[in-house]
A = this chain, B = another copy of it.
């Protein structure tokens, strides 16, 4: 491994001078600086991030915490899109990313300890459960954090626009003439609560009644449970004309249930999903859904976090809401 010492020897200057030259300090002559940079390049010198981190107390490394009951958080397309964009934006700004988890090898530590252990300059947090004491501890710690889809006091957050997303779907469906709209929701999280509230409020605003039996619980990303909920809805004496699903994947459970009943989409039943995953747009008919702005969310999260890291004094916690877009598709019949 070639170090600044090697360059210093090769150039006949001190290590301090090399360090300065390489970091573009003003107090080193143009000529020596150039000479140093040239030899550094020819020697194939690479700064050692570890040593630099130890010295500076800054690792240029940010933690990413994706926690999900199931553990398979990353494989959810919504999360992986966010991860991908957090990664891209962080790298653009000169930061690497490391996953933060509980328990590393034989040492058992919580998220905060893990982040500390790796000297993360900050952490982006996405979690299915923001009540988890380990998450709360990290968010409340001195480590800069940005949360996704949840707001802690005094810490920045990026929010997907669940309120407006649900509102857009309901208004679209209503515009097509539907007045009996059912909503199958995922397990109760703050995201679900926002969607539920927005669903109810928008319906109220539009004068659409919402019978209690039109609201059915299911589990996110679990087609089976949404299939069961669909079956329950179809069994109602006063069937809805349109069903909103917790997400696009869950819709598939409803889809096969509808097929079993010999109901065609959208002729006999209108449907809409949520997320706008690629699958939804290759299905025929194309699924009506709301595509979340995951890419922008990830990028904004990284940007905000790094801003806070680099300008801690002028920093103020910020809530950024990222809008998605309604994908109209062809699964909502015009029954106006």
Chain A positions within 8 Å of B, measured between CB atoms, are: 1, 46-51, 53-54, 59, 61, 71-75, 77, 80-81, 83-84, 87-88, 91-99, 101, 103-107, 109, 113, 116-119, 223, 249, 252-253, 255-256, 259, 278-279, 282-284
Contacts and interface: CB of A to CB of B under 8 A. Distances in A.
A282 B252 contact: yes
Copies in the complex: 2
A324 B113 CA distance: 38
A91 B108 CA distance: 11
6 closest A-B pairs by beta carbon, nearest first, are: A94-B105, A252-B282, A75-B80, A256-B284, A223-B282, A50-B53
A74 B284 CA distance: 26
Nearest to A88: B71
17 contacts: A50-B53, A50-B118, A51-B54, A74-B74, A75-B77, A75-B81, A91-B99, A92-B105, A94-B104, A94-B107, A95-B104, A95-B105, A96-B98, A223-B282, A249-B278, A249-B279, A255-B284
Contacts of A255: 284
Nearest to A224: B282
Contacts of A223: 282
Given A80-B80, A93-B105, 10 more contacts: A46-B117, A72-B81, A74-B87, A87-B101, A91-B99, A92-B105, A96-B104, A252-B283, A253-B282, A256-B282
A259 B284 contact: yes
A279 B107 CA distance: 37
